[in-house]
Amino acid sequence: MRIKTKLNLGVGLLFLLIIILTLVSAFYIFSIKKDTENILKANYNTLEYSRNMLLSLDEITINRDNAIITFKENLQKQTQNVTEAGEKKGTDNLKRNFVLLEKNSSDETLKMQIRQDIFEIMKLNMNAIKQKSDIAKHTAETANLWIAIVGTLCFLIAFNLLINLPNNIANPIKELTQSIKEIANKNYSERVHFTNHNEYGDLAKSFNTMAQKLEEYNSSNLYKLFFEKKRLETLINNMHDPIIGLDNKGIVLFVNDEALKIIGMKSEDVIGKSASTLALSNDLIRSLILKELATDSQKKQPLKIFAHGKESYFDKETINITITPTGEEREINIGDVIILRNITLFKELDFAKTNFIATVSHELKTPIASIKLSLQLLQNNKTGDMNDDQKQLVESIKDDSQRLLKITGELLNLSQLETGNIQLNIEKSDPYAIANYATEAVKVQADQKQIKLIIDANENLQDVKADSEKTGWVLINYLSNAITYSSEKSTIIVRLKQENNQIVFQVIDTGKGIDAHYKDKVFDKYFQIPGSQKSGTGLGLAISKEFIEAQNGSIGVESNLGLGSTFWFSLKV
């Protein structure tokens, strides 16, 4: 039964019973009141008149006229108040005897007769009172019975409502609240079981449908997520580059097959383990999780790993993954992905190129040197005179071969650096001597542009730990560049000073300067600032950097476009 109907029935019945109870009580109270009034009006008054008539009868000898009047008045009232069976006959007898007594008031027998009549009437009425009182009593008893019945019914219904209704309403709500909490806690298998065909039954049906749909939605989303996870795993596994994923606590989340191959471990021994624990027993993992190393040059070193049956080279890239959680503004770190790019092929090509350059430049050096020698012989008067045109041609061949020699020298230096075949002869070297040697070497070049070369050196500089030949080469390269990029008749200063335990060599020119964009790039291999002289190779500064860093020194440039540049390097004393 529906709750609304139940409530309507229960409360409605109770209401009806209360009305019935009120009506029954009112009806019986009214009946009892009517009975009492009846007794009062019909019988009590007759007894009153009879009493007055008896008193008047006693007074008739003393005060005849008054007694007769009073008797007559009461007899008159009695005549109008005849209510009981036989009372009329008695009253008529009384009237008749009273008429006779009026004529002969001293007749005692007549008086006796009248008294008899009055007593007769009184007896009739007293019997009637008793009878009516019995009826009233009976009415009261019936009223009691009915009121008790209806009252009990009311009590039973009210008691039933009191016991059942609150539970009927509250229990399903309690159960439903509990189930809603379960759903909120993502327990989508929760159901409610109200079998009644009432409003709660409908509610349960709707709730269960909702829970079922949520369950389906949730499992379909999970399926999607699993699918996406599988797809990503397959993708990562199929990549040829080794990839390792770590969470923000350094626990390994995923490792692809390539990475497993090179670290030589099984996935179950790696996944879920702390990378720092694994690093204790695996050198490769140690170098992979090692945070970036101190110096730039070390950072750029590719990792040499024995993989695919040969020595392979990998470029390590660590990508830090951060996300902004939904509804939040701050980014959080969720881990790192380490990607190793296999650059073996490029390395092999690079080696081939370096070897090629080394061979070519080495092979070219001897013929060029012999060309130079032949030119010197040609210029000698002993080999015969040349006309002016011939002299000019020989001069230009000399310039070109000089440049060729410079280029092949640079290429040879570079190939030596790249193959690691560089031979450093580090010894105690005098900075003044290096500076003098370099300025002497570029003197002719400077004179051609009427450039003044000044050495501005602090006194008593300590010796440096350096390969004087390579350091001199760097200083010559600086000076040669400064001359090339300075205007005629300008001045170039070579400054030597000591800073802490370093000797700083500076070449200061007032030439065209270097744009801030290119300041970091001029030390890169083959880099030439767009628009600058194309005669060079773009290798001079790169080789200088390698030479200085190989001697544990530092190198750099400060420059303002249009105002000149200061190229410097420093070496330990």
Residue numbers of the site for ligand ADP (CB under 6 A)?
477, 481-482, 485, 509, 511-512, 514, 522, 527-529, 532, 536-542, 565
Give the nearer residue to ligand ADP in terms of CB position, either 467 or 545. Answer: 545
> CA 31 to CA 36: how far, in whole Å?
9
Q: Helix or strand or coil: residue 104? A: coil
CB of 476 to ligand ADP, least distance (A): 11
CB of 537 to ligand ADP, least distance (A): 5
CB of 336 to ligand ADP, least distance (A): 37
Q: What is the DSSP string of 184-204?
A: HTT-TT------SSSHHHHHH
CB of 528 to ligand ADP, least distance (A): 3
Q: Helix or strand or coil: residue 504? A: strand
CB of 518 to ligand ADP, least distance (A): 7
Q: For 140, what's the count of Cα atoms within 13 Å in the CB-facing half-sphere?
A: 11
> CA 71 to CA 105: how far, in whole Å?
13
Give the nearer residue to ligand ADP in terms of CB position, either 24 or 482. Answer: 482
Give the nearer residue to ligand ADP in terms of CB position, either 3 or 357. Answer: 357
* Burial (CB count <10 Å: 0-12, 13-18, 19+), residue 288: buried
Helix (H) / strand (E) element for 157: namely helix 108-184
Q: Helix or strand or coil: residue 318? A: strand
CB of 509 to ligand ADP, least distance (A): 5
**Which residue has tokens 């009981």?**
84
Residue 86: CB partners within 8 Å, gap ≥ 6?
A: 124
Contact (Cβ atoms closer than 8 angstroms) between residue 544 and residue 569: yes
* Burial (CB count <10 Å: 0-12, 13-18, 19+), residue 135: middle
User: Distance between the two ends of the chain, CA-based, in angstroms?
Assistant: 104
Q: Helix, strand, coil % (nearest 5) of the chain? A: 60, 15, 25
Nearest residue (beta carbon) to ligand ADP: 536
Give the nearer residue to ligand ADP in terms of CB position, either 115 or 519. Answer: 519
Give the nearer residue to ligand ADP in terms of CB position, either 327 or 530. Answer: 530
CB of 223 to ligand ADP, least distance (A): 60
Give the nearer residue to ligand ADP in terms of CB position, either 453 or 482. Answer: 482
CB of 296 to ligand ADP, least distance (A): 18
> CA 31 to CA 22: how far, in whole Å?
14
Give the nearer residue to ligand ADP in terms of CB position, either 470 or 512. Answer: 512
**Which residue has tokens 């009868």?**
57
Give the nearer residue to ligand ADP in terms of CB position, either 50 or 565. Answer: 565
CB of 480 to ligand ADP, least distance (A): 8
CB of 532 to ligand ADP, least distance (A): 3
Instruction: Kindly state the tokens that stand for 326.
Output: 């939904």
CB of 442 to ligand ADP, least distance (A): 12
Contact (Cβ atoms closer than 8 angstroms) between residue 451 and residue 439: no
CB of 505 to ligand ADP, least distance (A): 14
Give the nearer residue to ligand ADP in terms of CB position, either 401 or 477. Answer: 477
| Residues pairing with 117 in the sheet | none
Q: Where are the alpha helices (DSSP H) in 340-430?
A: 344-379, 388-419
Give the nearer residue to ligand ADP in terms of CB position, either 183 or 422. Answer: 422
Contact (Cβ atoms closer than 8 angstroms) between residue 418 and residue 455: no
Q: Nearest-CA neighbor of 201 among 446, 6, 470?
A: 6
Give the nearer residue to ligand ADP in terms of CB position, either 289 or 482. Answer: 482
> CA 287 to CA 563: how far, in whole Å?
45
Give the nearer residue to ligand ADP in terms of CB position, either 93 or 484. Answer: 484
User: Residue 512 carries which DSSP code?
Assistant: S
Rg over CA atoms, the chain: 67
